Chains A and B, each alone.
Chain A
Amino acid sequence: MYTLGVDIGSTTAKAVILENGERIVASSIIIATVGTSGVQNAVTEVLDKSGLRMEDMTAVVATGYGRQTYEQADYQISELSCHAIGAHFVFPDVHTVIDIGGQDAKVLSLNERGQLANFAMNDKCAAGTGRFLDVMASILNLKISDLEKEAAKATEPAQISSTCTVFAESEVISQLANGVKIPDVVAGICSSVASRVASLVRRVGVQEKVCMTGGVAQNGGVRLALEKELGVPILYDDKAQLMGALGASLYAFNKENKKNNT
């Protein structure tokens, strides 16, 4: 049985095809915002990669910010539940999932069976999200993918406000004007995101093992800063950004499997 999970996020569209809820056949990530052709491109790409057709999919599940708008979905489910399912699949003994996406941050608490038991989301504010990093990278004229290696070069990380993206932007400009080196500013930015997200994690409770999912998880600078803030190791997998789509695909498999067994 093939199932397709589609995660339509605020800045990227992701798709994962699973075979029998066990093997990832193909995946795709397209940078595009909700409401564009991004989701269709992601689905086309994942089907091309797998050599399968849409008709081969037993079930399609949509999740993410744009889940309501994807008409080809058989079911839709919140991205929080999907990240919980996906993270449990990759790390069976994980109890806390930190998902930092393009425009929000979420912390999930999983019970012993890997089910979502509790969660917290950031306030309506860009601080502590991927958007914060986008804004800061743009000021520094860096690519997002450069942030990790720049942060690694830091010798005296700068202090950046964790309160507000707009204020932090001014702070970064002031730091640069004062001659602070770019790697130190970048390390300060990563710590700023980590500090903001850590308070959200503490709201739910730090229960090991802890993993990171979502696009920002790819940034080692933020991961390291979060490990320091929380004082626990943070698990990471290169499928971090696909975790929502993976969870959606697994949800589709479980749903169909249950249907077939009743």
Chain B
Amino acid sequence: MTAKNPDGIPSSQNPVSQQPGNSKPAEQLEGIAIRFAGDSGDGMQLTGTRFSDETALAGNDLSTFPDFPAEIRAPAGTMAGVSGFQIHFSSIDIHTPADQPDVLIAFNPAALRANVDDVRPMGMVIVNIDSFNQKSLTRAGYGDDPLPELRERFQVVEVPFTTLNRAALQGLDLSQREIDRCKNFFALGVLCWLYGRPMDATERWLGGKFKGDVLEGNIRTLRAGHAFGETTEIFPASFVIPAAKIAPGTYRNITGNQALAWGIVAAGVQMERNVFLGAYPITPASDVLHEVARYRHFGVKTFQAEDEMAAVSSTIGAAFAGQLAVTVSSGPGFVLKQEALGLAVMVELPLVAINVQRAGPSTGSPTKTEQGDLLAVLFGRHSESPIPIIAPCTPGDCFHAALEAFRMAVKYMTPVIVLSDGYLANSSEPWLIPEVDSLARNPVKHAHPADIGEFQPYARDPETLARPWAIPGTKGLEHRIGGLTKEDKTGNVIYDADNHGKMNALRKAKIEGIAKDYAPIEIDGPPEGEILVIGWGGTLGAITAAVESVREEGLSVSRIHLRHLNPFPSDLGDILGRFEKVLLPELSDGHLALLLRAKYLVDVRSLTKTEGQPFKIAELTEAIHELHASEN
């Protein structure tokens, strides 16, 4: 958690410096969280993303949380259409987008109503006062003007964004509608002034995106917003958030979906085989397909299939043909792939299947996050069908998870599931760009007749139990595979009972053997003691922040974060046994807790949440305190 000045808001006291090109005093803050909120059509995601990139370039640590509705354009001014983007940035290491924003920018009454209760008491609430008329208040569900009451609780700042933007863009050959669509950049300009963000990268970005009067309009209103901040009496001072002290290196901003896509492309380079990605569009996973499709010059082929079954089937086909094959989806699509994944288990072909989880069941809340698919991906196929599962824990970690998944798939000749989530997918963080030389190189070696005597499609490597990856086009290794029970070694279709059991046991032993490759679990904190908090996946930031917070209050709490959910690491049981109390926060009804209780007979306390939203730090600290206070 970032420490704030006592009333929790930026104030004009203690000016420390002046920012360049800024005649007003500037106050230094350690960090701040800002939420942009408006209609889906107001460009809030874009404004937030641009502000994030400028913030990253300013050297702050940051964490973002886009939160938007599934509807592309819900009726304007309604609660259903409110789209939000929160960014937390700081001069110290931070882990989450923050529980409560310090500043809310609300473009209309609905955005205000949907978000204002999240704002820190006496935080700053900037409203587009032009949008506050009786009609839009009614549409947002406000009876009376809420601002008088809110002034008691917050520092309310009224800015006529619409009017100011229109004035700034007079004389351009743009329609009223086109002019009004630029007003988010006026607000961005104001925020950039207020927090001393440079605007060069945004102007460069606009230059690459627009041209003519649209470009001119966006740049002009951005600069006008900056100038407004400088001259208006509304803001007596600006704020400085010094650069964070983080490990040296070259950084960039990255989202989880972008990192997955780049990990997929990187696998092709590092393993020296072409990549094939078969996918069907689905929120929040589609961006992986979009991103990978841009990199044909890496030899990457993407295929938008007719449905989820075709997506995974084409992927398995490509794996049979010798490609680094991957399919990506979210829960409702992933379950449609399960039958084909069962075949991939049977034929023991390497492929990566990514599930960017979203809140369910059924269509659920497509743009909201959850971790409710763990049991489905683990057990959702019929019969004995073990598949390894890797769960990345930060947006940047998605890159490494994708690479690891391909290496594991090829080494053990198995499908591998990567379990991401909607929060990781869309959130961004500064990412230390890895040196390509530091990434493992694992060139794929397909089976070759010269290397083997008599070819048997299901002969196994004695160490990994992997079968050979013999691909079409290889003379002398012609063979047939399929979903029917295979005879050990020959792969011939056979219905012998002993053989059927033996093949199940072999596949199980192969997957369990993967745990030999894991690094020991890193324990954050004492290796034994009272409380262990376990997490997995995208909850890492919130759990880390919560554990750090209770430690500051004097509790001794240890923490581990599981990356490998199948098979479990071999040292997990031992670690669980060394603590009196184990807490497992999950954005589900306790899937991992169920597994750990069953496998290790440990009384794991489950902290569950299925609201489509990430954990707040306060929810976790409260649970830790409660556990600490409990008898056993």
A-B interaction: no
